[in-house]
């Protein structure tokens, strides 16, 4: 029974990832720049580099601006130096779970979005990787993953019903078959959201 529950959880997580992937905007194709290598060789001769002659007295040494201590750096600059944790915000947590589900990265999905105690309930001797392989091979688990992905896509952008001092978010997902499904995310003591029920 616990194995089926874990398989269903992986299915739901896979659905969450798929939702996120499909809702992400496409990245624009980078245009060629002067720094980009040319893809085709040109037969035209390259112009010769100009010859510059200067004596040491004529060359100015570059000066660098003074370095500011990290204490004087604005907080926004420091925060932008490291990527944000997607599980710290409900909207980005849902999108990240959908992305992982769509990518079928069940191991990462389990590690990041399963309830903290879920690893304790794995069947004895079974690893998360083995459970993920079983979920990928099971047609029932695949259907559950698709339903989970559909649910995550459905709740993106919705305002949840908050409870438990704003540490529990409950969504009502509208599935393509016309049914509804409750999706509950909880905030762990770490401040990161995980999927409690789907």
Query: What are the pLDDT digits (tens) for 65-100?
Result: 555 544 444 444 334 444 689 999 999 999 999 999
How large a percentage of the chain has pLDDT more than 70?
58
Query: Measured between alpha carbons, how far apart are the two ends of the chain, in Å?
Result: 17
- Report H helices in the chain: 2-23, 75-81, 90-102, 106-113, 128-137, 139-155
pTM: 0.58
Q: At what angle do helices 139-155 and 90-102 cross, to 10 degrees?
A: 150
- Say how far apart CA 196 and CA 123 lie, in whole Å: 19
Which residues neighbour 105 within 8 Å (Cβ) at sequence distance 6 or greater?
17
Please give the angle made by the CA atoms of 31, 34 and 36, to the nearest 5 degrees.
Answer: 65
Comparing C-alpha atoms, which of 183, 195, 187, 197 is closest to residue 155? 183
CA 193 vs CA 1, 57, 85, 97: distances in Å: 26, 63, 10, 10
H or E element at residue 181: strand 180-187
pLDDT 10s digits, 101-160: 999 898 999 999 999 888 888 888 888 899 888 888 888 988 898 999 999 999 999 999
Q: Which two tokens stand for residue 39?
A: 């893809």
Three-class secondary structure of residue 12 per DSSP: helix
Given a contact cutoff of 8 angstroms between Cβ atoms, the answer to whether 8 and 121 are in contact is no
Determine how many CB atoms are found less than 10 A away from the CB of residue 92: 15
Unique residue bearing structure tokens 């978010």: 169
Task: State residue 63's pLDDT score.
Answer: 57
pLDDT of res. 121: 85
C-beta separation of 168 from 184 below 8 A = yes
* Extents of the domains making up the chain: 2-24+84-197
């Amino acid at each position: 029974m616990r194995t089926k529950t874990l398989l269903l959880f992986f299915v739901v997580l896979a659905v969450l990832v798929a939702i996120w992937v499909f809702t992400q905007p496409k990245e624009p194709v980078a245009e060629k720049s002067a720094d980009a290598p040319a893809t085709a060789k040109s037969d035209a001769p390259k112009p010769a580099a100009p010859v510059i002659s200067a004596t040491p007295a004529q060359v100015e040494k570059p000066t660098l601006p003074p370095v500011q201590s990290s204490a004087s750096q604005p907080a926004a600059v420091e925060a932008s130096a490291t990527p944000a944790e997607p599980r710290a915000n409900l909207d980005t947590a849902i999108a990240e779970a959908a992305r992982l589900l769509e990518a079928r990265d069940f191991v990462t999905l389990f590690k990041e979005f399963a309830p903290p105690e879920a690893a304790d309930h794995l069947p004895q001797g079974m690893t998360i990787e083995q459970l993920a392989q079983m979920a990928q091979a099971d047609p029932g688990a695949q259907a559950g993953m698709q339903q989970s992905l559909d649910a995550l896509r459905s709740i993106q952008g919705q305002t949840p019903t908050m409870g438990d001092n704003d540490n529990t978010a409950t969504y009502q997902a509208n599935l393509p078959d016309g049914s509804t499904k409750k999706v509950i995310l909880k905030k762990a003591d770490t401040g990161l959201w995980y999927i409690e029920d789907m």
